[in-house]
Structure 1
Amino acid sequence: MSRGRKLIWRPKPAENKATIPKQPRVGGRKRWKNTSADYHQTLPLESETTSLMIKNIPNKYTRELLILTLDNHCKNENNNTENEFISAYDHVYLPIDFKSRVNAGFAFVNFTNAKAAVKFKEAFHGKRWAFSDSPKVAEISRAKIQGIKAIINHCQMMDFKCGSDEDLPVIFKPARDGSGRFDSKMFKLGKFVK
């Protein structure tokens, strides 16, 4: 190893597509870093997947900017006359580090149908982020908790230690489809704890 050369961890390509390489731990926490365009494969979405985890979000992204990104995607998909489904989402959670006031680099979103989730993954996985000059590349995978009912049940039982109740997970009624035709109301989930 030469002196002064900075080592950067890069994931190895998965030999078996059914497994994802383990991520290195730094200070007890998982760190996701990718500085090259050769991003590793994630597990395929199951046929009924509606809830996704989005990784490698630029830290300066706010919930409003993520919602704008999702709205633009849904609007584009819904303007596509070939689609036989409505692309819409009804849940977003972008964890915020309340000390630094930047996001934690990942988020959760629930689409109203599995086809919309697949289209979102196809559009964003392995791509750089709009509205940002960050070199981060999006990674989209299946979330552990699936479906809006399970998300609501899970979040309502939780106490969130965050900067304010503005950082809580939210649901939308009716679901947002990017059209702006509906007055979609945002409802917070969980309880803010100082």
Structure 2
Amino acid sequence: MQLPPRPYPPALPPLLPLPTVVSPPQENVRRRRSIPPRLRWVEKWIPNNETTVMIKNIPFHYDRGLMIRFLDDFCLQENEKNRDSNEENIHVFAYDFLYLPMNFKMTSSAGYGFVNFTDHRTLSIFFGHFSERAKAYPNSARSVQMVIAKIQGKNALVNRYKNTRFVCESEECLPVQFNPPRNGSRESVQVITVGKFEVIPDIPIDRF
């Protein structure tokens, strides 16, 4: 038995156009991606002309090579984010000066260091990335802490230490500047030491 044809349903009303979403400016997108909302105060707190930071609570077993690796990893990670974001008016994360003071009696790090970045915008990202003591140094339980340095800029730092004589065992203890600046790409850069070093004199055991 053949069933009678079913009537077609009434035509549906035309779809309404989707609302237009206005994208926020690229600068705001960059800011929200890099700094969590609870840390927005960091950008307002750091002046636009500051580029040098004093890193604190550095593990005592860290030397200059480990600090370079630590800073290279940060710059590499942020520069990769920039490439993936396809944003305009971005800057390169890089640094051109590093000084890690040493405790020569203990032959270990003094627990702090100075780094100069090439762009003031890096500081807000750097502070936001390691704020609230949430992140530790690699291979250490110590949290990363930092403050704005009193001496600002590579030229001022070089002038501060260029005539200083450091009593140490090698040039590995001296401040250094990088040409071109290090950006985490692992490309070879020139390392220029700042200041002079004097070898620690040997003290005879039977002197006293």
Q: Please, which moves more after superposition, 170-179 or 136-145?
A: 136-145
Structure 2 match to 1:64: 65
Structure 2 match to 1:192: 197
What code does the residue aligned with 1:132 have? N
Q: Do the aligned residues in 2 keep the contact of 1:99 with 1:163 (CA within 8 Å)? A: no
Give the one of 102, 125, 142 matched to 2:148: 142
Cα deviation for residue 62 of structure 1 reads: 1.5
Cα deviation for residue 159 of structure 1 reads: 1.8
Q: Do the aligned residues in 2 keep the contact of 1:58 with 1:129 (CA within 8 Å)? A: no
Structure 1: segments with no counterpart, 5+ residues = 1-41
What code does the residue aligned with 2:168 have? C
Structure 1 match to 2:16: none
Change (3 A) 1:106 1:56: same
Structure showing greater Rg: 2
TM, length-normalised to structure 1: 0.72
- Cα shift readout 1:20-68 (whole Å, capped 9, x = no counterpart): xxxxxxxxxxxxxxxxxxxxxx993222110100000111111111110
Percent identity, aligned pairs only, is 36
Structure 2 match to 1:171: 177
Change (3 A) 1:162 1:54: same
TM, length-normalised to structure 2: 0.67
- Find out whether 1:129 has 2:130 as its counterpart: no
Please list, as runs of the form range in 1=range in 2, the aligned pairs for 1:7-18 lying within 5 A after superposition: none
Cα deviation for residue 141 of structure 1 reads: 0.9
* Structure 2 CA distance for aligned equivalents of residues 177 and 141 of structure 1: 21
RMSD over aligned Cα, in angstroms? Answer: 1.9
Runs of 4+ in 1 over 3 A off after TM superposition: none
Structure 2 match to 1:4: none
Higher helix share: 2
* Structure 1 CA distance for aligned equivalents of residues 96 and 128 of structure 2: 19
- Find out whether 1:91 has 2:69 as its counterpart: no
* Structure 2 CA distance for aligned equivalents of residues 127 and 173 of structure 1: 32
What code does the residue aligned with 1:105 have? G
Give the one of 180, 185, 188 matched to 1:183: 188
Cα deviation for residue 138 of structure 1 reads: 1.8
Secondary structure of residue in 2 paired with 1:80: helix
Structure 2: segments with no counterpart, 5+ residues = 1-41, 200-208
Cα deviation for residue 124 of structure 1 reads: 1.9
* Structure 1 CA distance for aligned equivalents of residues 101 and 45 of structure 2: 24
* Structure 1 CA distance for aligned equivalents of residues 134 and 97 of structure 2: 22
Cα deviation for residue 174 of structure 1 reads: 0.3
- Cα shift readout 1:125-160 (whole Å, capped 9, x = no counterpart): 3234232233x2221111111111111111112222
* Structure 2 CA distance for aligned equivalents of residues 169 and 133 of structure 1: 23
